[in-house]
Amino acid sequence: MNKMITLEKNNFLYQKIADNFENQILTEILKSGDKLPSVRVICKQYGVSLSTALQAYYFLESKNLIQARPNSGYYVNYSSRRFSTSDKSTQPSLNIDDNLADKLISRVFQEIARHDETVMFSLGVPSTDLLPVAKLNKAMVAALRELPASGTRYEHIQGNIKLRKQIAHWAYTWNGKFTESDVITTAGCINAISFCLSSLAKPGDTIAVESPCYFGVLQLAKSLGLRIMEIPTHLQNGIEIDELKKAIESKKINICLLVSNFSNPLGSCIPTENKKEIVKLLEINNIPLIEDDLYGDMYFGKQRPQTCKTFDESGNVLLCSSVSKTLAPGYRVGWVIPGKYKDKVLNTKLYQTISTTTLTQEVIANFMENGRYEHHLLKMRHALFGNCLQLMRAVNEYFPENTRITKPSGGFMLWVELDEKINTAALFEQALKQKVSIAPGRVFTTQDLYNNCLRLNYSWIWNDKIEQAIKTLGAIIHKMLKQS
């Protein structure tokens, strides 16, 4: 990437290397999201020691020009425009329930059929380009061959034993200590949440959620006749504990549901100490916590964040997850670790579905058992991290200067706050005409909030088409501002 330069022994060698890269970054020869050469390549290219090469990168990192990605390398983390990141809390108020969000959600999903021709920033699913499709196909053939009756028989009510063992084993990555008898398989994460809510809540009960909140949860809660209390949420650190305490003191909460790690749509991650406090607070008040940990495996840091379930000593936390966001969305393989509510959840599953799909559970079990899952996740996390930096750079480059964005540390959602004059429901309609689909902020609440916000998904391979789609969005927004 860089030409050999002559280094004088009496100068700081690392400084000359760092200056060379800094010049390329500031002139945008190297752009945000680009991967830098490995340390070993730097050593060979410049004829320096490993420590000198590392020192050059440490110096660039200290200036926030580059960012390290564990087990992957260093990436450019700079744009000619300063990142306007959001670091505040949302302020939901009284519940104002209407049909606008439902109509917008229906419009968003109508575009699924046009997936090949429309850039779908709106859907929270990974691109098939990031998934090991060929390996899954081979695993499917093997499952057909190995399963009794080729997988046509009903599975055990609690779920595939091999899969449940692998889920229990995988829980050790977040310090969970379980056995296969603690796990119940489901048809995806939202199905697991549905089982939990159906088991523990009755019509008229109140469920506390973060605000904004994934619209699938809001729709599910309303379909079950539940009242929804949206709790103020910090854009980086998740639900505000003091506000949750006030809601509990009001004696109006029956159940709490949180996305603990890299939430949808904010991308927020609840700090470890806050998770401990939340678990203790809800346990003392005998309020079940349904934890959605769908995105926890897609972390950008050095290690996977722990879950609320990690700190659950009484069985009051019902942990829900799946491989729908990491491996195979269409397989609909999920699970719940329901703690002391196991019998209730198991009965609900029996009444509603009898059992879950035999074939796909076996495929996922084999994939996890052979170590392929972790290998796949490592590659996927690398791709998502680069995509996140690219998207942040593009939004800052093409959107108006007063645009604010979150800075995710995992997952694949970017929350964008535009000028208050912009209605993203109208933006959605205008962008569709240009074959670009977004998720308007209004769908993530039951209240009249987030009308100037949107969620963008970055779980695909970055290319010129994606870049152009962001540029198109920016042009539409600029035009809307001029007309306002």
* pLDDT at residue 176 in the model: 94
Residue 32 has pLDDT above 60, yes or no: yes
Q: To 5 degrees, how large is the angle CA 143–CA 147–CA 149?
A: 125
Q: 256, 240 in Cβ contact below 8 A?
A: no
The CA-atom distances, in angstroms, between 128 and each of 115, 325, 334, 467 are: 12, 11, 19, 19
256-308 confidence digits (pLDDT tens): 999 999 999 999 999 999 999 999 999 999 999 999 999 999 998 888 999 99
Residue 220 has pLDDT above 70, yes or no: yes
325-337 confidence digits (pLDDT tens): 999 999 999 999 9
* pLDDT at residue 116 in the model: 66
What pLDDT band is residue 99 in, cutting at 50, 70 and 90?
Answer: low
Task: Identify which of 355, 309, 350, 304 has the alpha carbon closest to the alpha carbon of residue 332.
Answer: 355
Q: 257, 217 in Cβ contact below 8 A?
A: yes
Residue 181 has pLDDT above 70, yes or no: yes
The CA-atom distances, in angstroms, between 29 and each of 69, 216, 385, 388 are: 21, 42, 20, 19
Cα dihedral 260, 263, 269, 273, rounded to 10, equals -20
Assigned CATH class of 13-76: mainly alpha
Q: 480, 419 in Cβ contact below 8 A?
A: no
Q: Is domain 132-371 classified as CATH 3.40.50.1100?
A: no
Query: What average pLDDT does the segment 85-103 reach?
Result: 64
Q: Which two tokens stand for residue 274?
A: 């806050």
Q: 345, 184 in Cβ contact below 8 A?
A: yes
More confidently predicted of 92 and 471 = 471
Query: What is the Cα–Cα distance from 329 to 326, expressed in whole angstroms?
Result: 8
Domain 100-129+375-483, second-level architecture: Alpha-Beta Complex (3.90)
222-260 confidence digits (pLDDT tens): 999 999 999 999 999 999 999 999 999 988 899 999 999
What pLDDT band is residue 72 in, cutting at 50, 70 and 90?
Answer: confident
More confidently predicted of 84 and 449 = 449
Query: What average pLDDT does the segment 179-191 reach?
Result: 97
Residue 39 has pLDDT above 50, yes or no: yes
Residue 401 has pLDDT above 50, yes or no: yes
* pLDDT at residue 100 in the model: 66
Instruction: Write down the mean pLDDT value for the chain.
Output: 89
Residue 6 has pLDDT above 60, yes or no: no
* pLDDT at residue 52 in the model: 87
Most confident of 338-342, 378-382, 392-396: 338-342
Strands of 404-405's sheet in order across: 404-405, 413-417, 453-457, 439-440
* pLDDT at residue 3 in the model: 36
Number of C-beta neighbours around residue 245 at 10 A? 14
* pLDDT at residue 93 in the model: 61
Q: Ramachandran region of residue 315, left (φ > 0), alpha (ψ -120 to 50) or beta?
A: left
Q: 209, 266 in Cβ contact below 8 A?
A: no
Q: What are the respective helix, strand and coil percentages of the chain, to the nearest 5?
A: 45, 15, 40
Residue 403 has pLDDT above 70, yes or no: yes
* pLDDT at residue 443 in the model: 92
419-446 confidence digits (pLDDT tens): 999 999 999 999 999 999 999 999 999 9
User: How many Cα atoms within 13 Å fall on the side-chain side of residue 12?
Assistant: 10
Name which of 101-105, 137-141, 209-213 the model is least confident about: 101-105
Residue 23 has pLDDT above 90, yes or no: no
* pLDDT at residue 80 in the model: 56
Residue 199 has pLDDT above 50, yes or no: yes
Q: Per-domain residue ranges for the chain?
A: 13-76, 100-129+375-483, 132-371
DSSP H or E run through 259: strand 255-259
Residue 9 has pLDDT above 50, yes or no: no
Residue 65 has pLDDT above 90, yes or no: no
Task: Identify which of 281, 197, 205, 200 has the alpha carbon closest to the alpha carbon of residue 239.
Answer: 281
